[in-house]
Chains A and B, each alone.
Chain A
Amino acid sequence: MNDSEATLQKNIPLAVMPPKRPKSRVIKEKEKKNETPDEGASESAHPEHIFPLVLTSVTQELFGCRADEDVTGENPYKLLRKEDIVQDMKTRAAVSDFSPVKHIVLEYPEDELLLVFDRDFTYGQCFYLVLTVEAKDNMMKSPAQADDDEEPMKDEEEHVMEPKTPESHPWISQGSEQEIEDESLTHARPRLRYKISPLMRHCGAPVCFSDGNDGYVECSSYEDKSFSITRMERDTSIQASRDTTHSSTQTLWKYPKNMCTQYEPREFSPEEKEHHLRSENLKNFITSVAIRFERSLQQNVISDVFCDDWTVLCEDDGVPTGKTETQLKEYQSFMDLHFSREKSISHVHWHPSISGVIAVAMTERLSLEERIDNSTKLLLNPSYILFWSFTDPINPQLQLECPEDVLCFQFCPSDPNIIAGGCINGQVVLWDISAHVERLQDTRSGGDNISNNLDKDDVIPVVRYCAVSGIENGHKAPVTDIQWLPETFELSRFGIPVENSSRICVQMVTCALDCCVLFWDLRLPRAVSQSLTDVKQKSEEKPPENPHGVPNTFKHLNLTWKPFIRVSLPKIGSTGEYSPLKFSFRDNTVDYITGDKPPQDAEREEVCGFAQLRVPSAKQQKPLENISTKLYVGTEDGELVYTDWKMEKDNDSGRLFSAKPTHQFLAHHTLVNTVSRSPFFKDIILTVGSFGFAIWKEGVMSGPILMSACSKVMCTIGHWSLTRPALFFIGKKDGTIEVWDLLQNTHEPSQTQNISTASITCIRSSSSCGKHHLLAVSDRIGTLHILQIPWTLRKSSNNEKKNVRKYFEKEEERLEYFEKRQIKHEKHKKEMEAEQLKKKTEPAVPLKPDEELEAEALKEYEQFLALEKIVLKNMGLLTDTIDQSDL
């Protein structure tokens, strides 16, 4: 635009003189330029690429661009060939119109130049030549565009303007910032700072204040009523905040205090009770109320209203299906090659606390003569008690060395590490295996430890006995039975049960074929304490010798041990004594006053506390009531003897002797090999003889409540089942076991099973063996069989105990009935005999002669006839006439 203005001003003709032009044309041109800025910009301006040119008519005709003929205002462009122009220049040299642009034409790169007919003389000449290629292109395009633009431009104006992205423009002030600038506070000048400080000499000097009214004028503000400015606007800031209050509290501090209360129920004094009991009120109350009670009580007895018949019915048949086996299944069997050869097992006992461990006593199978013959050999082969564990069926875990063959042994109930046994020579032996308990317990855990204990397994530990009784003091015959007294009571010297303060088993009972039952105490009697102190001193001087690695538990007893009670069994009715084989006493429990029980730790303390324990003096001990001191003893001759172990003092000699047994009964005709109490009923005893068994009830003295028929095979051992009250096992000489179920059959066993080929010597069932219920059966050839008790034989039904008890009661009643009948029968018999006797001793009646007898008979007959007549007359059936005629 500026250029256009500028060029207008300098519309100075160039070297080629253009014709003068009227001003109006120039104005027109200007106007035109405004319309078509594109064309105007290129035409009016005489840019470098435009060269105004005059072409003569000759040239015009030559090039075919005659004005207004070839080229018109609409079509002003004409392309001229460069060669033609050059030709023309050559031919006409200086006259050629193109001479001024000669060099340009020659330099022109392309072949054709553009000649534009300048009708309006915009560049001052009729024609102009476009000198550059670009301009030529622009020319060619722009008019085409201009032609195109003119037409559609009108159309565009009708359409909406194309949306363009807003371009940012610099901000144009409209005047709004003035207000802000007015409001804002700016410092017009920098702040002035003054620092006022007193002179140094005044610092620290004492100050003297005084009133200073003079010398200053006060101008205080006052409110002028004539002039007031109300503040129209005010700048304040507001902040919202919550209501706050300030408050405080004080709490009471309650600190914990120990408090206790004690209460007791209200009770009446005896007088008050008496008073109440005598009152009329109570009497009436009782009498009125008793009827209700009686009715209800009887109702209950008649029928149990709440009994669920359905459940009770099914429980009896509650045998889970699938468990139909009734046979004893063999679980394991133990036989040691070294020690069990040629030997028989005399006694078997499960370890009371460690499950899976069983102890077995081996004895030689020799009769007395053979023993004497082979005595030297026997001395070299000591006998052992072997401990077997289920984890190792080949090697026994522990061996207890015995001085002689042990016929019976027992674990101490309160301390399972102590074992007492009775030998064949009458000695009583004690072992302490506490050193080896871990080994036994390890084996229980199974194979895990075996690899660790390989070195241990090579040598089976042999435990020597701790103590052995003195030979002269003990039995003089093989000890056949040994049992521990429970820890609940102990016996004094007289056999009176007294309270056991130590709460551990300290006493045991043995019996042997030498006709006595001996009571042994593990503690030293007080009388010996004197000498013991000497012994103790001796032992303290030199360290206690421990040959064979024997623990010192019972060193105080070794070889000096003697029984403190000797119960002999004199025969009732005849001289001599009973020779006991087995015995059984009642397992008594004692109620403790709870305060008296000593702390357990003190008791579980060392086992060697036995050495320190002393038999307490008789005065200190408190006798206990409710303990039965009676013993059942089975003898060699087949009798069952019931005796009391309490000793009585013979007033004459001052010696203690035992009372005669109260009862004896010849139950079996050969030796009694088992006397055992039922674990469920404390008063039921099973005795087994050679040909049968018998069941006794304590207190019933007339005979056994059940006696079995004679069996073909000899019975060797009997054992109650620990889980079923009605079941017991009988071992036989041919190696079979009979299972007797009292609720099924009493005349024959419910089951028979052959276990081994040799006779059974011992049967024991275990109570603590985990989920297996096992029966240990030992036989005469030295094998120990462990059998599993099947479900039927170990699961008791609900009412089994009740039923068995009823059965026993019934049997008892039967016995009583028989007794009574017996008595009655005897009485009757006696009466019969008396009568017969009487008859015999009466004088004979004299015989009357026959005539007299006839006369008597006739007289009777006549009397009878008279009587008949009277009767008939009275009845009105007789007619006098007939009667007289008959007569």
Chain B
Amino acid sequence: MAEVDETMKRLQNQKGVQGIIIVNAEGIPIKSTLDNASTVQYAGNIHQLLMKARGIVRDIDPQNDLTFLRIRSKKNEVMIAPDKDYFLIVIQNPTE
């Protein structure tokens, strides 16, 4: 628990980070630094995208797997790291 907190804090203190969300494999958020509405929205949408992205990667090469996904938008960047049971989402505004 402490390690989780500590890592989250470390990530949060990076420059420009707006929020961190830990989500389980089904898309249900576990822990988040954003408000509930945004958390749920991010978790739900990104879960679908993640499934799709992972499917693409494995479709092209079944031995391959998705390790990191970065979505760059005008206002910020969303970074997603998937795993078997969980995935972690970090939202950063890099141009500040």
Contact = CB atoms under 8 A, between A and B. Distances in A.
A276 B79 contact: no
A227 interface: no
Given A268-B28, A281-B85, A296 B79 contact: yes
B81 A293 contact: yes
A300 interface: yes
Interface residues of A, number: 28
A287 B86 CA distance: 12
B29 A289 contact: no
A277 B28 CA distance: 13
Contacts of A266: 26-28
Is chain A's interface secondary structure helix, strand, loop, or mixed overall?
helix
A300 B94 contact: yes
B79 A282 contact: no
A285 interface: yes
B16 A300 contact: yes
Contacts of B31: 273, 277
Most chain-B CB neighbours within 10 Å: which of A266, A288, A289, A298?
Answer: A289
Size class of the B contact interface (CB-based, 8 Å): 35 or more
Contacts of A297: 11, 14-17, 79, 90, 92
B50 interface: no
A278 interface: yes
A15 B67 CA distance: 154
B7 interface: yes
A299 to B, nearest CB: 9
A289 B16 contact: no
Interface string B9-46: 01100111100001010111111000000001001100
Contacts of B63: none
Nearest to B88: A289
B3 A287 contact: yes
Interface in A284-334: 285-290, 292-294, 296-298, 300-301, 304, 306-307
B11 A281 contact: no
A273 B68 CA distance: 24
B83 interface: yes
Contact of A296 (B30, B68, B86): B68
Contacts of B72: 306
B70 interface: yes
B24 A290 contact: no
Interface string B38-74: 0010011000000000000000000000011010100
A267 interface: yes
A25 interface: no
Contacts of A294: 10-11, 14
Given A265-B40, A265-B44, A294-B14, A289 B3 contact: no
A307 B95 CA distance: 9
B83 A289 contact: yes
A290 to B, nearest CB: 5
Given A273-B30, A285-B85, A287-B3, A293 B79 contact: yes
Contacts of A267: 28-29, 40
Contacts of A289: 81, 83, 88
Given A296-B68, A300-B16, 14 more contacts: A266-B28, A277-B4, A277-B30, A277-B31, A285-B85, A285-B88, A286-B4, A289-B81, A289-B83, A292-B68, A293-B79, A294-B10, A300-B92, A301-B15
24 contacts: A266-B28, A276-B24, A277-B1, A277-B30, A278-B1, A283-B3, A285-B85, A286-B3, A286-B88, A287-B7, A288-B83, A289-B88, A290-B11, A292-B67, A293-B81, A294-B11, A296-B70, A296-B79, A297-B79, A297-B90, A298-B14, A300-B16, A301-B15, A306-B72
